[in-house]
Structure 1
Amino acid sequence: MKTLKTSFLLLALGVALGGCASNLSSSEKLAIYQAHAGAPVKDFRYFSSISWTPLGDQALAVWTKPNEAWLLDLTGRCIDLDYAPAISLSNMFGRVSAKFDSVRVIGGANSHFRIPCRIDTIRPLDVKALKAAEKELREAKIVEREAEKTG
């Protein structure tokens, strides 16, 4: 029963996080994530991710716990990352390492022929501050739209 409750909570969190940034552009999301990322680290512990957030074609955030996420900057463009239904991360003994591991886009046309996207840097995200910043930006956009309607 506890596993079912935990799974439901993680699924709900993933849906909520995905919806939080849905009305922001990729460049706005990337800027917010970069502003709330810590110093680069060598690697992070990875057994599975709760969810992931594409941030353009050269970065993504991977959520490993409800309050733990990592900003992954890639060495170049990762084709179809913004539209991928799924990704996988290479890892060695449950650790994803910068410069060695890769992101693989799964699904879509030609997915078997895609070259994995090498991870350049890994930075921990301040999840609490990130959520607050996204909320603040969304609210500012709502106020801006309301002002445009009345003005």
Structure 2
Amino acid sequence: MSCKSMLLAGVAAVLLAGCASVPRAERLSQRQAAYAAAAGAPVNSFRFFTQLWSWEDLGPDQVVVYTKPKEAWLLDVPGCLELPFANAIGLTSNLNQVSINFDKVITGRNNIPCTIQRIRPVDVSRLKAVQQQQRQIKTEPRPS
């Protein structure tokens, strides 16, 4: 393969990778919007007694933690760059209480602590309704 062919192949790969990232960015934006719409007013802390039931990163600045199947919290953790790549996370707490500006999200990848700066409760039933609206598909009959 000539240098020119290799260069063209490299450029094509970069362009395809750029095209592939557009839908992911759009999906992330939709998820962020859905959680923001379902989130309530900020609180200073929440009770946390057991393991996390589930979690979902929303980029390097936010994570949603489910403490129960129908109880979720939207946490703002600005600059938590490892978060989108973490396979697992943990939360610090004091006497079963997770508090802003004190407790942290620990990314499982490198155990880097990210300070929780804002906590908002998520109305999970409202979240599901917003997500359902986002999934609506407009159908039109094919022209004959």
For the aligned pair, the TM-score class normalised by the smaller chain equals 0.7 to 0.9
Larger Rg: 2
Secondary structure of 2:80 counterpart: coil
Q: 1:67 to 1:118 in 2, by over 3 A?
A: same
Cα distance between partner residues in 2 of 1:30 and 1:118: 19
Give the TM-score normalised by the residue count of structure 2. 0.74
Unpaired segments ≥5 residues, structure 1: 1-21
Give the TM-score normalised by the residue count of structure 1. 0.71
Q: Aligned ranges for residues 2-151 of structure 1 at < 5 Å? A: 25-47=27-49, 48-74=51-77, 76-107=78-109, 111-112=110-111, 114=112, 116-139=113-136, 142-143=137-138
1:42-85: per-residue Cα shift (whole Å, max 9, x none)?
Answer: 110112210001111100111011111101011x2112212211
Confirm or deny: 8 A CA contact 1:24 1:138 kept in the other structure: no
Structure 1: 4+ residue segments shifted above 4 A = none
Secondary structure of 1:25 counterpart: helix
| Deviation (angstroms), 1:34 | 1.0
Confirm or deny: 8 A CA contact 1:62 1:70 kept in the other structure: yes
Size of the aligned set, in residue pairs, is 118
Cα distance between partner residues in 1 of 2:130 and 2:105: 27
Q: 1:67 to 1:23 in 2, by over 3 A?
A: farther
Structure 1 letter corresponding to 2:97: R
* RMSD of aligned residue pairs (Cα, Å): 2.2
Confirm or deny: 8 A CA contact 1:101 1:119 kept in the other structure: yes
Unpaired segments ≥5 residues, structure 2: 1-23
| Deviation (angstroms), 1:122 | 0.5
Percent identical pairs in the alignment equals 42
